[in-house]
Amino acid sequence: MPQIAVIPGSFDPVTNGHLDVIRRAAGIFDEVHVLVVHNPDKQAMIPIARRVELIETALGTTRNIVVRSWSVGLLVDYCTDVGARVIVKGVRNTADLEYEQPMAIVNRHLGKIETVFMMPNPEHAHVSSSLVRQVASLGGDVAPYVPEVVRDFLQGDMAPGLNL
């Protein structure tokens, strides 16, 4: 039976830290589903469909990674639908762990889905989507933190229409 992992998140936008975790997870699991999920607790900047496209372009051709969105129910329902028993999340620090821990416990209760935490590569440990949004909104160069396609998107013609 193929071991499938789901990597959920807002990815608003995807960062080099996310990509590092996604690629490393793809080296461990047979199949990785990157799932762009609407988080009602956060005000989104980029439309979900565009976030999916940005991740796909940043990853390029991959053997065992699919990128999808999910907005119709519990994350564990998606996991069960595709036969995934594991959620993968990156944790950069204790604040991340505190944020992730209740979700991991609830997801295990709701759907018997285990969450596996991966440490970031230290060079990405300070990078977050919110930091990228703030730097971009103030006209700074986000090139060190995001793939080229995201930088171009944030600094291109679409930028004035975004909720920066």
User: What single-letter amino acid sits at 46?
Assistant: I
SS3 115: strand
Asked if residue 74 lies in contact with residue 109, where contact means CB atoms within 8 angstroms, the answer is: no
Q: Is 126 in the site for ligand PNS (CB under 6 A)?
A: no
Window 43-82: contact mask with ligand PNS (x via CB under 6 A): -------------------------------xx-------
SS3 145: coil
Q: Is 17 in the site for ligand PNS (CB under 6 A)?
A: no
Active site residue 42: yes
Asked if residue 36 lies in contact with residue 68, where contact means CB atoms within 8 angstroms, the answer is: yes
Nearer to ligand PNS, 1 or 95 (CB): 95
Phi, psi of 30 (to 5 degrees): -70, -35
Element (H, E) at 9: strand 4-9
Active site residue 18: yes
Nearer to ligand PNS, 16 or 107 (CB): 107
**Only segment of 45-53, 102-110, 132-140, 150-158 that touches ligand PNS (CB under 6 A):** 102-110
Beta bridge partners of 5: 32, 86
Considering the candidates 10, 89, 124, 129, report the single residue annotated as catalytic.
129
> Which sequence positions are flagged as catalytic?
18, 42, 92, 129
Binding stretches for ligand PNS (CB under 6 A)? 8-10, 37, 39, 42, 74-75, 103, 106-107
